[in-house]
Amino acid sequence: MPSVETRSWERFALPNGLRVVLAPDRSAPVVGVAVVYDVGIRSEPQGRTGFAHLFEHLMFQGSANLEKLAHFRYVQGSGGQFNGSTHLDYTDYFEILPSNALERALFLEADRMRGPRLTEENLRNQVDVVKEEIRVNVLNRPYGAFPWLKLPPVLFDTFPNAHDGYGSFDDLEAATVSDAADFFERYYAAGNAVLAVAGDLDVAQATEFVQRHFSDVPARPAPPRPDFAEPDLTAERRTSYVDKLAPLPALAAAWRVPDPLTDLASYLPYVVLAEVLTDGDASRLVRRLVLTDRIVTSIGGYVSFMGDAFDVRDPTALLLEARLPPDGSVDRVLAVTAEEIDRVAQDGLDEAELTRTVARMSTHLLREADTVLNRALRHAVYEQQRADPALSHELPRRLAEVSEDQVRAAAARLSANRRAVVEVVPGGGAR
């Protein structure tokens, strides 16, 4: 096995409930700073689809000591970069900067943790910006939001799991400043947040900076987290829609998988299976569907709707998605896919197939961990969801422990009666 990550890390909590992870690595003069709040798309209220994401934008619009635009200017004027992103189960805010700006970055994050400046003008401006974001990523391109926003309403029944996390324009336009204030009050509590810093830092000094800037953030407890559980499917569900920009048919299928948090050991074989099926030209489905039968143009597979297997809670899914040639048959693709999955379940894996697949997965994990920002984000999410900030150090070993029998058993669970399928009907394209 490749060497796993051995870097050290420290964790502690402030009296106001904020949890902190510090992960020093002095090999380059840069630091990554991440603040993760335990609220995401699944927590937004009915009638306010897209609100978690809209609120994320509002967190950049100024705070107690910072005018609008100041956050951007101070981060970039320190040589750094910033962003935030909204996920199903959390929302993150982050910077990567030369390490001489560490204290400044902590000041900026603490300032908005005390409270953003929520104004009508900024809200309207950011509703407009978000609408352009949705147009560019969903409405003005072929296969927009496919399949990550198209499969959940087929696989799930409840609003938290099934609704459109980008939001309808009506809901976005209906959002008010008072909605935003309530959302902040409820979810953006110190007790609901994790701060992680990775990179060129001295633990004692960074601890002092953290205490200096975050200690007087008011204590508010984490809200109770609702149970988003839903029963598994017992019969196949299948839908289709016309994408007027898409020139070719496409197909996505999803199956529920075990709970990533409470049953990681049972979950990991599905993560490996997705790669056995679709990682590269030596994978089962690429070989059969793309190279041999030539019934798809491309095929991909992964666990969790946003493609990251280790930042979600239950319920989530293993997804496959394929693009078909112009005259392609969705039924044929589903049948051949089922046949190949069944071959894994019945006959197991070839010699070395499991080890080479896991070796490539290790490369992906290590490569992602090569940026201090990703390390900070990982530590923060793992601390928040698992109270185990160092899961990233463990994952290569845990993946290497997945057995052939476990992968076979996972494959056996990908049956047609547990499947949700969405088909994209091409509406023309070339416009």
Residues 63-92, interacting with other proteins (CB under 8 A): 64-66, 68-70, 72-74, 76-87
Q: Which of 380, 15, 42 is closest to 187 using CA atoms? A: 42
Q: By CB under 8 A, which span of 230-238, 320-328, 330-338, 410-418 interacts with other proteins?
A: 320-328
Exactly one of 305, 336, 402, 413 binds other proteins (CB under 8 A); which one? 305
Pairing of strands 91-98, 30-37: antiparallel
Distances (CA, A) of 226 to 44, 48, 305, 306: 11, 17, 20, 21
Produce one character per residue of 308-329: b if its CB has 16 or more CB atoms within 10 Å, e if not. Answer: ebbbbbbbbbbbbbbbbeeebe
Distance between terminal CA atoms of the chain?
50
What's the min distance (Å) between Cβ of 315 and other proteins?
17
Give the Cβ contact number of residue 418 at 10 Å.
18
What's the min distance (Å) between Cβ of 4 and other proteins?
9
Q: Which of 97, 98, 100, 102 is closest to 83 using CA atoms? A: 97
Taking phi over 0 as left and psi of -120 to 50 as alpha, with beta for the rest, 95 belongs to: beta
Give the CA diameter of the chain.
Answer: 64
Ranges within 350-379 binding other proteins (CB under 8 A): 352-353, 355-357, 359-360, 362-364, 366-367, 369-372
Q: By CB under 8 A, which span of 188-196, 259-267, 278-286, 414-422 interacts with other proteins?
A: 278-286
Exactly one of 119, 148, 348, 386 binds other proteins (CB under 8 A); which one? 148
Assess contact for 81 and 30: CB atoms under 8 A.
no
What's the min distance (Å) between Cβ of 142 and other proteins?
5
**Dist. CA 178–CA 123, nearest whole Å:** 11
What's the min distance (Å) between Cβ of 160 and other proteins?
16
Ranges within 215-254 binding other proteins (CB under 8 A): 245-248, 250
What's the min distance (Å) between Cβ of 261 and other proteins?
19
Binding letters toward other proteins, positions 91-120, x by CB under 8 A: --x--xxxxxxxxx-xx---x---------
Exactly one of 196, 286, 336, 341 binds other proteins (CB under 8 A); which one? 286
Q: By CB under 8 A, which span of 188-196, 233-241, 276-284, 335-343 interacts with other proteins?
A: 276-284
Exactly one of 18, 118, 322, 333 binds other proteins (CB under 8 A); which one? 322
**Dist. CA 318–CA 341, nearest whole Å:** 13
Taking the least distance from each CB to other proteins, the nearer of 207 and 297 is 297
Ranges within 36-65 binding other proteins (CB under 8 A): 41, 53, 56-57, 60, 64-65
Distances (CA, A) of 115 to 68, 111, 149, 180, 421: 13, 7, 30, 11, 42
HEC string for 113-134:
HHCECCCHHHHHHHHHHHHHHH
11: which strand partners?
21
Taking the least distance from each CB to other proteins, the nearer of 189 and 358 is 358
Binding letters toward other proteins, positions 155-184, x by CB under 8 A: ----------xx------------------
What's the min distance (Å) between Cβ of 221 and other proteins?
25
